[in-house]
Amino acid sequence: MQRFFGAILALVVLVSCKDEKVEPPKEMAQETVEVPVVKHFGFNLDEFKVVQDTVKWGDSFGELMLKNKVDYPKIATISENYKDTFDVRKIMVGKPYLILKSKDTSEIAEIFIYENDRINYTVVDLRDSVKAYKSKKDVKYVEREVGGIINSSLSQTLDSLGVDYNVTIDLSEIYAWTIDFFRLEKGDKFKVIYDERFINDTLYAGRGPIKAAFFEHKGKPIYAFPYVTDSLKNILDYYDQDANNLRSTFLRAPIKFGYRLSSRYNLKRRIAYYGYKVRPHKGTDYAAPVGTPIIATADGTVSESTRRGGNGRYVKIRHNGTYSTQYLHMKKQKVKRGEFVRQGDVIGWVGMTGNTGGPHVCYRFWKNGRQVDPLREKLPSAEPIVDSLRTDYVQYVEPLKAQLDCIEYAKPFAEPEPEENLITLNQ
């Protein structure tokens, strides 16, 4: 019993000791705390004379270094021995750089820092034994949730919400096989979760990959979740809520973005110029500016890459024993006969060769040797997730789906009213 009360007493004393405020010694209270040195690119810039500029037309690494009193042997060492790290021939006009010079009267360049992009940079250390290495700035990732209702177009809606235009492109690529983004309807809805990257907490440095997305098109909800099905090959695809692959064997269009469907497949087309006689149009035309990249809509082998008559410059691809595609009126082809191309590879550029009234690509689609309308074909889909991974996938997407479902929609983007309907303050 005594031991019990002794333990209670000890506990009370212990708690009261923690609650008691202990005044620090005067010496400690007056002690100053050293402010940590702030470094940029791994260097204390206060130790150098800093020159900050951008690469101009005519600039070269060698000339920049010679102007800043660097010996030629050091320049040669970097140029010859560090090509994999820093190829001096590939410095680009407009790229920022810093030269850190000694603070003594010689003002010799000791460090050269070349900013490859907002995050990555290359350091050339010219002190003692010359060396070069690559590094990255500290980046903060901030998750962002966005939901919107389309009133005009996806890009306008996202832009009105202050979303990076690249997110529009990412969404269009994820849903490229399931949604025609040039046939969106007013009232279609979307939600998306992705990361925004910031340098020094404030400088925007781009977006990260989409973590999860949702699109409701014509009342049909389609979720999209990224999932790696082959860890060895690091193959990542987007799958829907039922573990079906959103990727189809064929893309819906031979241009990624920024095109207009100008003419559809039509076997009964009549043209006034030809006296309204029936002149079948067995292709699907996508209008786009000259020079717009044209992509292969599926994997396959180039069977033709040439120029002929009204087709102009064109490429034809054999995908398998059933399907072939053809891309007409190119400005220039990028591939040759016999080459194997992957879905999404650039095979040429939009032009106006052959019989055409404006820049576009005429996309033709063969099934079993007969031209058909690709927009009406039920194209084969990619394989769904295998049964052995289905349980893991469901567990992985469950919290993401719940997070998407909780995102609220922002108000639709309102287009400006016509000028005649506006009332000015002077009236």
Residue 21 CA to residue 93 CA, distance in Å, equals 63
Q: What is the DSSP letter of 312?
A: E
Is 401 a domain residue?
Answer: no
Report the percentage of the chain scoring pLDDT > 90: 54
Which CATH number characterizes residue 339's domain? 2.70.70.10
Is 77 a domain residue?
Answer: yes
Residue count of the chain? 427
**pLDDT at residue 317 in the model:** 95
Q: What is the pTM of this model?
A: 0.60
Same domain, yes or no: 235 and 314:
no
Q: What is the pLDDT of residues 334-359, one digit of tens each?
A: 999 999 998 889 999 999 999 888 89
Q: Which domain holds residue 96?
A: 45-136
Q: Judge whether residue 99 has pLDDT over 90.
A: yes
Range in 269-278, 322-331, 394-403 with the lowest mean pLDDT: 269-278
Is 255 a domain residue?
Answer: no
Rounded to the nearest angstrom, the gap between the alpha carbon of residue 166 and the centroid of all alpha carbons in its chain is: 5
Tokens of 134: 């690559």
Is 268 a domain residue?
Answer: yes
Total domain count for the chain? 3
Is 229 a domain residue?
Answer: yes
Is 292 a domain residue?
Answer: yes
**pLDDT at residue 109 in the model:** 95
Same domain, yes or no: 195 and 217:
yes
Q: What is the pLDDT of residues 201-250, one digit of tens each?
A: 888 989 999 999 999 988 889 999 999 887 766 778 899 999 988 887 78
Which CATH number characterizes residue 102's domain? 3.10.450.350
Q: What is the DSSP letter of 90?
A: G
Same domain, yes or no: 152 and 171:
yes
Is 235 a domain residue?
Answer: yes
- DSSP assignment of 97-150 equals EEEEE-SSTT--EEEEEEESSSSEEEEEE-SSS-EEEEEE--EEEEEEEEEEE-
Q: Judge whether residue 2 has pLDDT over 90.
A: no
Is 121 a domain residue?
Answer: yes
Q: Distance of CA 206 to CAs 114, 137, 394, Å?
A: 19, 13, 30
Which whole number is the average pLDDT over 376-397?
A: 85
Same domain, yes or no: 104 and 150:
no
**pLDDT at residue 276 in the model:** 57
Q: What is the pLDDT of residues 77-90, one digit of tens each?
A: 999 999 999 999 99
Which is more confidently placed, 3 or 363? 363
Q: pLDDT band at residue 421, thresholds of 50, 70 and 90? A: very low
Comparing CA positions, the residue from 217, 220, 266, 214 lying closest to residue 240 is 214
Tokens of 238: 């987007």
Which is more confidently placed, 385 or 12? 385
Phi then psi dihedrals of residue 165, to 5 deg:
-60, -30
Mean of the per-residue pLDDT values of the chain? 84
